[in-house]
Amino acid sequence: MRSGSYGRHTRRALPADVTRFVGRRHELARLRDLLADSRAVTVTGVGGLGKSRLALQAARDSVRRFADGVLLVALTGADRSTPVVELAVQALEIREQSARPSWEALTGFLATRTMLVVLDACEHRVDECAEFVGHVLAAAPGVRVLTTGRLPLHVAGERILPLAPLAVDRPGGVSSDAFDLFTARAETTPGVCLTERDRADAVVLCRRLDGIPLAIELAAACLLTLSVRQIIDRLDHRFRLLAARRPGRAHEEVLRAALDGSFEVCHPSVRLLWQRLSVFADEFDLAAVEAVCCGDELPVHDLPHHLGALVEQSVVVRVPGEVPRFLLLDTIREYGSLRLGDSVEATDCRDRHRRFYALRAARAEQAWNGPDQCRRLDEIRHDQGNLWAALDAFLDDDDPAAVSAGAVMAADLWFFWIAGGRLRDGRRYLQRALSRHTRPGHARRRVLWAAAFVAGTQGDLESATAMARECLAAAAEAGDGDLQACAQETLGMIAAIGGDLGAAVVRLTTALEWHGADGRSPAGLLRTLPCLGITHIMNGDIDDAIVMAGRAEALCERLGERWQMSYVHYLLALGLRIKGDPDAATARVRDAIAIKAEFHDVVGLVMCIELLAGLLADRGDGGRSAQLLGAAESLWQDFGLPSFGSPFHSAEHTRTESVIRQSLDAIAYRSALTAGRRLGMDEAVAFALDREPATGRGPGAADRGPRLTPRESQVAALAATGLSNQEIADRLGIGRRTVESHVENLLRKLGFRTRTQIAAWLAT
């Protein structure tokens, strides 16, 4: 006879939900599948994500599969001196009268039963919980265990479901889980009735709160005294705003307490890493973490383990991609920054951050003309948020040495401003560097050259000429031959764009002689040769242009360079068209378009699309030609350029239009032109190359779209509400220039021209 007394029915009633469970449909389905396949499942994640709520809901949904019911052992608030096994015995109400150990009583009870045991909030007792689960699984083959915690238990056979924040985007017009949670809680708040404007603001709010359920619920509670817009306006101090009280937890902020719990269960070195990671403004890679965060207290060889622990807890998000990159959500980063504070250590960490990204920019510039060109540019694009933060930190510093470092960094990024299609950002930072770094010297000369190059590419020939001449004069005075040649090449480019072809040839030839002497500057040669070749084409000197193209092509092939090779293809396409070989010219210009699309070189892309439109018009394909002209016009206007470039290019554009109008009537021409204007960059490239677009959101692309970073999503949502760049900057606590950069990046990524289109896209 058993010495313990157990009730005839062992099915346990789970606690009822006080509020309705919202969202998490995919996570629930995944958790149910894991419970069907595995005997031990752990839901992990940082505090505030709703791990317990999800586990309990999954248990309710699965209760019919367990003949003897579900046992909940809640460790939250339990006396830590009471062993977990005793808590389980108490939860089962086992009336044990003998002197048998609790383990024997528990395993004896569970041995023949089919049950689900839910062990909630294991993070503070990981080792004990792991031992408990191991004993139960070994003794009771019909029992499955579902645990929650900020860390896995690492027991044999354990399956892990890392919980992410709620989805904040709304694809296909379906409301997001985060939005649904906020509105569901708002509807239960006395006196609150959300207007359409409130609902639009709620989308922004959910993004700002990173989709963290606890933060969203606390924000909804603020509706008793604040509007949704007022909550957003106060989010720069979210931990203060969302301070709330739980019964029995007087004077404790719930959101911060949730993150405190995640922080406290970390190993001290992992806590230190979390704090130091808060200096990153956007996503980062392992090399950046090693350079910025490691030191005596945090050795490099321990970093993968510590970073993995933070990923395991969902403190750090691993960004999908070929090369592992990582991200802290804004709420998590703000918490880490509060922990880091303004100590000497924090200052050192932030200084290491800006110096690392300055070094990365310098190394990318040094390797620019090599075979890793496209990878380097992609790396810089991924680092954009951190690069901007580093530039801002340098250029806002009161230390002249720091300002000088920022000026050098802005100049080092010349290739990104131009080849990467970031002319507006480049112009802003270079002008800022010139205004802050006024002392004569090599750094200022380089900034003058880069600023002139960018302004000339934008079509601002007056400003470009003034800066290039200042650079030339300063370089001549200092005996700086390299920058004299750079200034000459830029003045030659400006002269060519302005139609002064004789002066352009003289200046470009002068630069070519300096760059080419003893192989002094392959980079300078690669900038100058195609430019001089195109100038020869404009001047009618086709044979000289072909010679320049041949020299540039050989150099590109030797170095593995691709960006200037695209200009070589363009140059040869111009020459082949004039020589009467349209097929070869078309092949060359399409090669150029394919390369320029890789680099997002919008200026070069427009030039090539215009040339292809002319070649198609010559063949009588007026419809496709007109569409290409419309696409080029849209890209050109998006880019903020004032005209279709040089007199030569304007004349070619006019000639193409004239040929098209001979093959199409006015209505067909306007229709084709309008269709082309609707194409985003990716779609325009695909159309030009007769391919299916890989990305984009033009006609027929409602279910596709580029991946936005969390910060881009926030900016998009705020821009869609009609806020200005300064207002967005104020709400996000970032610089206006950073917001402008994000807006431009959004327009480019989405293939849009206006903020109104962003708003429409978010609403679909």
Residues forming beta bridges with residue 120, ordered by sequence position: 74
Average pLDDT (183-196) is 76
Question: 266-341 and 710-763: same fold?
Answer: yes
Please tell me whether residue 481 adopts helix, strand or coil conformation: helix
pLDDT band at 645 (very low <50, low <70, confident <90, very high): low
Give yes or no for a contact between 412 and 362, defined as CB atoms under 8 angstroms apart: yes
Query: What does the domain layout of the chain look like in residue ranges?
Result: 4-162, 171-256, 266-341, 710-763
Please give the DSSP secondary-structure letter assigned to residue 296: T
Residues 6 or more apart in contact with residue 398 via CB below 8 angstroms: none
Confidence check: pLDDT of 8 > 60:
no
Length, in residues, of the chain? 764
pLDDT for residue 477: 94
CB atoms within 10 A of CB 393: 21
Confidence check: pLDDT of 694 > 60:
no
Confidence check: pLDDT of 247 > 60:
no
In our burial notation (b when 16+ CB lie closer than 10 A, e otherwise), range 604-629 reads bbbbbbbbbbbbbbbeebbbbbbbbb
pLDDT for residue 98: 46
pLDDT for residue 1: 33
| One-letter amino acid for residue 77 of the chain | G
- Quick: pLDDT tens for 469-489: 999 999 999 999 999 999 999
Q: Name which residue leads in pLDDT, 2 or 200.
A: 200
Q: Name which residue leads in pLDDT, 95 or 464.
A: 464
Rounded to 10 degrees, the C-alpha dihedral 395/396/397/400 comes to 40
pLDDT for residue 696: 39
pLDDT band at 693 (very low <50, low <70, confident <90, very high): low
pLDDT band at 238 (very low <50, low <70, confident <90, very high): low
Least confidently predicted of 149-153, 245-249, 361-365, 406-410: 245-249
Alpha helices in 72-139, H assignment, sequence order: 84-92, 102-110, 126-139
Average pLDDT (258-270) is 78
Confidence check: pLDDT of 704 > 50:
no
- Quick: pLDDT tens for 734-743: 667 677 777 7
d(CA 480, CA 668): 57
Q: Name the helix (H) or strand (E) containing 372.
A: none
- Quick: pLDDT tens for 543-555: 899 999 999 999 9
pLDDT for residue 26: 82
Confidence check: pLDDT of 327 > 60:
yes
Please tell me whether residue 565 adopts helix, strand or coil conformation: helix
Strands 115-120 and 95-96: unpaired
pLDDT for residue 483: 94
pLDDT for residue 749: 65
Give yes or no for a contact between 38 and 252, defined as CB atoms under 8 angstroms apart: no
Of the candidates 266, 221, 237, the one whose C-alpha atom is nearest the C-alpha of residue 124 is 266
pLDDT for residue 753: 58
Least confidently predicted of 209-218, 293-302, 356-365, 381-390: 209-218
Least confidently predicted of 34-43, 659-668, 696-705: 696-705
CATH number (3.40.50.300, 3.40.30.10, 1.10.760.10, 3.40.190.10) of 4-162 reads 3.40.50.300
Q: Name the helix (H) or strand (E) containing 80.
A: none
Give yes or no for a contact between 78 and 87, defined as CB atoms under 8 angstroms apart: yes
| One-letter amino acid for residue 291 of the chain | A
Instruction: Tell me whether residue 320 is exposed, middle or buried, using C-beta atoms within 10 angstroms of its C-beta: 0 to 12, 13 to 18, 19 or more.
Output: exposed
d(CA 480, CA 119): 72
Least confidently predicted of 25-29, 447-451, 750-754: 750-754
pLDDT for residue 173: 47
Sheet (strand 158-162) strand order:
70-74, 115-120, 143-149, 40-44, 158-162
d(CA 161, CA 42): 6
d(CA 323, CA 705): 21
Least confidently predicted of 151-155, 258-262, 396-400: 258-262
Average pLDDT (78-96) is 73
Confidence check: pLDDT of 2 > 60:
no
Average pLDDT (580-588) is 92
Please give the DSSP secondary-structure letter assigned to residue 316: S
pLDDT for residue 478: 95
d(CA 148, CA 152): 8
Confidence (pTM): 0.72
Residue linked to tokens 């909630």: 120
Q: Name which residue leads in pLDDT, 655 or 718.
A: 655
pLDDT for residue 722: 66
pLDDT for residue 488: 95
CATH architecture of structural domain 710-763: Orthogonal Bundle (1.10)
Of the candidates 408, 445, 460, 459, the one whose C-alpha atom is nearest the C-alpha of residue 429 is 408
Of the candidates 590, 631, 639, 597, the one whose C-alpha atom is nearest the C-alpha of residue 744 is 639
Q: Name which residue leads in pLDDT, 53 or 467.
A: 467
Confidence check: pLDDT of 76 > 70:
yes
Please tell me whether residue 159 adopts helix, strand or coil conformation: strand
Confidence check: pLDDT of 289 > 90:
yes
Average pLDDT (70-97) is 74
pLDDT for residue 97: 43
CB atoms within 10 A of CB 418: 23
pLDDT for residue 529: 93
Rounded to 10 degrees, the C-alpha dihedral 353/359/364/367 comes to -150
Confidence check: pLDDT of 331 > 90:
no
- pLDDT cut 70: percent of the chain above it: 83
CB atoms within 10 A of CB 272: 19
CATH number (1.10.3720.10, 3.30.390.50, 1.25.40.10, 1.10.10.10) of 266-341 reads 1.10.10.10
Alpha helices in 367-479, H assignment, sequence order: 373-382, 384-395, 400-412, 414-419, 423-436, 442-458, 461-478
Of the candidates 40, 41, 17, 18, the one whose C-alpha atom is nearest the C-alpha of residue 28 is 41
- pLDDT cut 90: percent of the chain above it: 29
Least confidently predicted of 143-157, 258-272, 605-619, 747-761: 747-761
- Taken in order 519, 523, 528, 529, the sign of the CA dihedral is positive
